[in-house]
Structure 1
Amino acid sequence: MEPIKIIDAPACPLPLANVDTDQLIPARFMKEPRSVGYGRFLLHDLRHDENGRPVAGFILNHPQADEAKTLVARRNFGAGSSREAAVYALVDFGFHCVIAPSFGDIFASNAVNNGLLPATVSEADAEALLAALGESPGPLRVDLEAQRIAIGELSVAFTIAPTWRTKLLNGWDDIDMTRQHAATIARFATRYASQRPWLDAGPPPLITRG
């Protein structure tokens, strides 16, 4: 994964609560291979009418939405099923961060594991950010090191679990998190083996037929 430190790019306001994973990517699209690009399916049934035509005024249909790296929403974002494809859709569309007052637990974990920052803000701060953006994409800065979000003169704090912050800042996955302790693990293994030499009996004897 690519490390995330600062995201300085347009953000899309999505003033909706309880956006669940089935809305993020309807189940019928999950039969498609990831190689087709899941971004085209993101919020499909909100972006399109019953005839498949783009809904005028929906934020992801805005001409500048393709440049956006952050999505600002209301509480309980990513609730519902555990489908990781919901995160794929956001990442493939181009988002690096979602800001909301709360997230579905499994969604947030999947997000971090795919390099997507779930930034948790208070409900009041979410409303302030949405008001500052208005009805179109606008400039927004996310600083993961400082855990701050800024739009013009508006600056708010966000929270994220320390382990997740470390993973995203370094572009690490779970294996990388373990590797940072490689020296400690090696010292333990050496000490453990020296204290219990009987555990290492060597390779089994070669059996030959006479």
Structure 2
Amino acid sequence: MLIYSMTRQSIRGFISAFCRPTVTGLENVPEEGPFIVASNHLSFLDSVIIQALMPRGVAFFAKAEYFTGKGVKGKLMKAFFEGVGSIPVERGEQAASVAALKTLLDLLDKGQGIGIYPEGTRSRDGLLYRGRTGVGWLALTTGAPVVPVGLRGTERLQPADRNTIVPRHFEMAVGEPLYFDKTGPDHSLPARREATDRIMDAIAALSGQERAPGYNKPPAA
């Protein structure tokens, strides 16, 4: 816990000093109890930014290979992602997806905060894509409030063709929590879709992005 707190404070200090972000709405984060952060996704750094700037801890998934690298670089990456509260997950495997979902439920049951990107992957054209219904499933199953977040300008911090981070001003707007009736896992797909669409509408209002008609797709390998 001490390492986690120190890592978050260090990253927050770096971001504040070199990026001078405009951050609004932090008072909308519940002071206690479980909550789900649902954000648009523009940059590899989005999770780290949200984890560092939020007043409470937020657990995001990160690719498992970030935790298994070799040598000094691998150890540093593992320490960093563990330090900000990231959770390793294998991508593209059904069993791993089920285990990941259970991990999120366990964290919410413990009264903690989790983060999710309803779009599924980063937007590379700046559009806000249709939300996948996992966030709606979590909200209806647990009854945890959903805190929408709109990020603007984070894609400039690490352009797609660069491995280095370039300090740039960005904005993070945190909206009022959205509440859904707790139904447990036995709810209909239309109810899940309706909850997800409501969440995406809130994200769109905060991010100011133009909406895309369909789902986002990960880049070709």
| TM-score, normalised with respect to structure 1 | 0.29
Q: Which has the higher relative contact order, 1 or 2, with Cα contacts under 8 A spaced 6 or more apart?
A: 2
Decide which structure has the larger Cα Rg and report it: 1
| TM-score, normalised with respect to structure 2 | 0.28
